[in-house]
A and B are shown apart, each in its own frame.
Chain A
Amino acid sequence: MESKKYLEDISQIKDMMNRSSRFISLSGLSGILAGIYAITGAILTYMFLLPKGDYVVLHSWNFRMIIGVLIAVAVLSLVTAYLLTSKKARKNNEKVWDETSKRLLINFLIPLVTGGVYILIKLNSQHYGLTGSLMLIFYGLALVNASKYTIGNVKYLGYAEIILGLICAALPGYGFWFWILGFGVLHIIYGSLIYFKEEKA
């Protein structure tokens, strides 16, 4: 009798911790899909937009198309994450938009927007050599920063992105491949880990 009460206490603690920092239920499937979008975008870019053996010239048609692909990948990933997460929230009878998710989003966006603006400024002064590395690093920082408002292990994905970004900075010329690794492969791995954990739960 007593032991049943203690078990209930433990599950109440878990439930409250989870629900009050709710965005841990960012669905694993959305991570997998984000990775697939990134790889698809990269393949399209590689096949059609990267001039063979040549550099991409700033403000050229190719350059604008690459930026377009990047934005499309980002928007698609965000929309997918939002839709799948709200579906999951509805299933669990929870709200998507509350204090926690607002705080999470703000803390995610601060490093991300900083990085985005920084990259744009650099691009404008013809410094695009480190774009891939900077994207990975700032995205990683955004994840680590946002992870303070979740119990999940998004921060490990963040660390991995940062490390990858730093390695990428040390190996100029491979930005494209590191980008695929960071935004494509890592998302798919991380998303699958979460997905299978969800399935088990």
Chain B
Amino acid sequence: MGLIDNINKLFDHRIRLGIMSILMVNQEVDFNRLKELLNVTDGNLASHTKTLEKAEYIKIEKSFIGKKPNTRYTATPLGKLSFKKHIEALENLIKNQ
């Protein structure tokens, strides 16, 4: 059919989908904010952000605020484009039902 082709497997997961949605509309989001919005555990969030980073969909920047480590996330242009395609694919699938 070809319709399913555009569905991105990487976004086929609730938490990764949530991370990308948040990064689409926010320039930069830190770890705690993501955790709070998505309501997930540290380990869970870290593993999903790593997956997205490996695909070069998001960029992870680590720094320190005082002594506290601070990790911030941004979506890359590639990530944004892929996510847009994914949304379009979802919309097409629903329309064609």
Contacts and interface: CB of A to CB of B under 8 A. Distances in A.
B90 A6 contact: yes
Interface string B4-18: 000000000010011
Contacts of B37: 16, 19-20
Given A3-B97, A16-B37, A20-B25, A10 B90 contact: yes
B14 A12 contact: yes
A20 B17 contact: no
Contacts of B38: 16
A21 B25 contact: yes
Interface residues of B, number: 20
Contacts of A2: 93
A6 to B, nearest CB: 5
B21 to A, nearest CB: 4
Instruction: Determine the main DSSP class of A at the interface with B.
Output: helix
A9 interface: yes
Q: Sort chain A's interface into a size bin.
A: 10 to 19
A150 to B, nearest CB: 9
B93 A12 contact: no
A196 B30 CA distance: 34
Given A13-B87, A20-B29, A21-B26, A6 B93 contact: yes
A3 B17 contact: no
Interface in A89-118: 98-100
Given A3-B93, A6-B94, A7-B94, A17 B22 contact: yes
Interface in B18-59: 18, 21-22, 24-26, 29-30, 33, 36-38
Contacts of B26: 20-21, 100, 149
A171 interface: no
A13 B93 contact: no
Contact of B87 (A3, A10, A16, A19): A10
A121 interface: no
A69 B65 CA distance: 43
Interface in A1-27: 2-3, 6-7, 9-10, 12-14, 16-17, 19-21
The 8 residue pairs across chains A and B that have the minimum distance between CB atoms = A16-B21, A20-B22, A13-B21, A3-B97, A21-B25, A17-B25, A16-B18, A6-B90
